[in-house]
Structure 1
Amino acid sequence: MDTDYILIIVIFFLILLSGFFSGSETGLTGVNKARMHKLASEGNKRAQMVINLRQDKDRLIGAILLGNNVVNIAASMLAALVAQSIFGKEGIALVVATGVMTIMILIFGEVMPKTYAFQSSDKVAIMVAPIWNVLVKILNPITIVVQAVSRSLLKLLRVGKGKELVNGVDALRGAIDMHHTEGSVVKDDRDMLGSILDLSQIEVAEIMVHRKDMTTVNLDDEPAAIVEQAITSIHTRLPVWENDDENIIGVLITKDVLKLDRDNMDKEAVRALLHEPMFTPDKTSLRDQMELFRNRRSHIAIVVDEYGALMGLLTLEDILEEIVGQIEDEHDKVIRGIKKQSGGGYKMRGNLSLRDLNRELGWSLESDGDATTIAGYVINLAERIPDVGEEFSHEGKLFRVLGKVRNQITSISALEIEQYEDES
């Protein structure tokens, strides 16, 4: 009987070891990698051990599973011996041992340690890292043999490593959304980080200032008029054209006009102040354009199409606004181009970009063509230039043309169809 007591103590110890292995597996595989790298950079040796262990996951998981299975099998065998000693009959002893050990291993060897490790994976990983740093080396010879056998069987069955289902950017985006759901990342931060990841997918044509809305300077104007325009302008950089308003020959930095001699000004004096313009294709991604701005130490670019025709203007501030949202200074009009109507729905400018509209209202409108504004979106729906008062429905929204000047749609109203049906 004394032997049975000793065996029971050994069984409980083995179950605790099983819990240690299970908790270690969950903690080391579910650890926050970014946090571990931060701790390691601050000199935390245990965090560095976690990083080193995770670099060879196959060897780590192999060692954990090897240890876990050994202690579980050993505990079950000893439990069978104790049960046989107590009950005598082999059949009853086997049933009792199986039932008791299943419950014990399930609760104390799996569920409890894994639940705790899942909730505190970083803490558990740092705590067990030194132990596994030694155990992995000790169990390595056996682990290598087991891995070699499993790889051979997988090769025999023609089972290879699966391809990654998502790329690094999508994985990062998913991690941001997950942390937002868990409450560790607030919405504004989530949106900003998501916008940074979007920079490589957005083309400059989607956020540029259209050429019709550009403020430009005609070099053929009187120098005094140019100086007056520069001084009174809300912009610090103005594109300058000559002979033809699409022939941009330079960029005038408004503060440079202060260098002019007011009593001796002419066209060539103004020309001497111009900076070489940066021309960029309309299909350039915002990420690449940011790099171009950095390399050229410039803040403004003239957007052209594949034929070199002027399309619009892009500034560094436009790209920054894609990341952090609207940047308003004392000169900016506090108008986003969207106004909520008292009767429901929204009134908006025709030149409002789809990206700004989607971000402001949480919609997901996408154009089938090259349209980047809500006016272009509606024209694509109509497949012509619609008249004032015409309505179009698409993607659960009802659009109505409110204003039009010549062939340009100036204002549109939008209403969600469900809301429209309720009002009707």
Structure 2
Amino acid sequence: MRVLFYLPVVTPWWFEHIVTPILRKIATVAEVHVLAPTSWRNTGVGPEQLAHCLDLEEVNWQIIDSPDPATLRTKSGDAAELVAHVRGLAPDLVLCRTADFETARKFPGTVRFLMEGSAAPFHFDASTTITDQPFVNGAMPELGASDRASLDSLIAPLWAEMRTHWQRAIPDRGAVFRQAGIPEDRPMLLLPLEYEHEENFFLQHRVPQVSNRALVTKTAKQLAGKCTLVVTDHPLNARHLDRRGLRDTIAQLGKRVILAEPTILGFPATLTLAVHADGMLLGDSKSFGMAAAFGVPILRRSRFTSASWLNAETDLGRFVAAARSGEARAPSEEDTRLWFAYHFANEAFYSPDPDLTGSELIDRALRPVNPERWEAGIGRIRAVKPEYLH
């Protein structure tokens, strides 16, 4: 089997911690090629990344030094030459870390995307998925009664542990709101911001195509004070970017818009507030898992679809009216539990796991649904980090 890793938007951290372990495992059972551009805006493959793989003499490396480094990272220009090149390689399987899904889908063989696998409020070391549906929130196949029962049995102790922990750990609504300065006279809508560093090329898909500051301003104007808008920043934004502009923007929007501190009463702000939110406003954030787990209604504005069981609204006006009347629909409790079970048992994995083999990784790509790996999948996650809480 010939496997191609296509990595135009891989970051140094992702390459070292996610891709390299996968590449090493697959190289033991298949012919491996790597196709990636040179480093630009903290993405691509450069000397530092190659240094992690000097011992992999059997891997075929093709590093593209393009005069327009944006070309492979965004949908710009004619991709015919690239597609023809990949067809010449004739891979059986292509594993992509790319934000240009349209071009990648023109490649020969089975095309899959390496995406994030974490799913709060669980905190297993299950950092990766191999999927053909990036950003399709809550996706899972039609499952028969026996498969549903099997998954329910696997998730039951983990689900009980998670629910018990957060019920005991997170203070009541009054205490949380007082600490965060949130008034209780109207519904609270939570807006978790996405990572907006220049390395995040996935933002080219966001709806609307604006910065986080502009998104907050636009949303606040649409709410017109009917709800309190509470904004939480992405942890990587706080770590890597200057947030003074965001703070200034929110300060000018009035008392009905609040920027939460990174932690509230000792817990991550988004998680703490999700427990008590009347609705969550999302784009392509992984925070949909928290909303589902805590029964929070979701508004999602995205180019990508959401599973029907999430009951995600797409119109902000309707969502606000429903939140104010108490009629906003939360995700299905039964399907939420089933999705977490399916995700951890079938999809998510920890790439450095020493028991995870190259053959199994290829199977995950070629057979997206395989009940034979479910019990081992849950068991491995618990073995890697028995405590789901960081």
TM above 0.5: no
Higher radius of gyration, 1 or 2: 1
Return the structure number with greater helix share: 1
TM-score normalised according to structure 2 size: 0.26
Q: Which has the higher contact order (CA 8 A, sep 6+)?
A: 2
TM-score normalised according to structure 1 size: 0.24
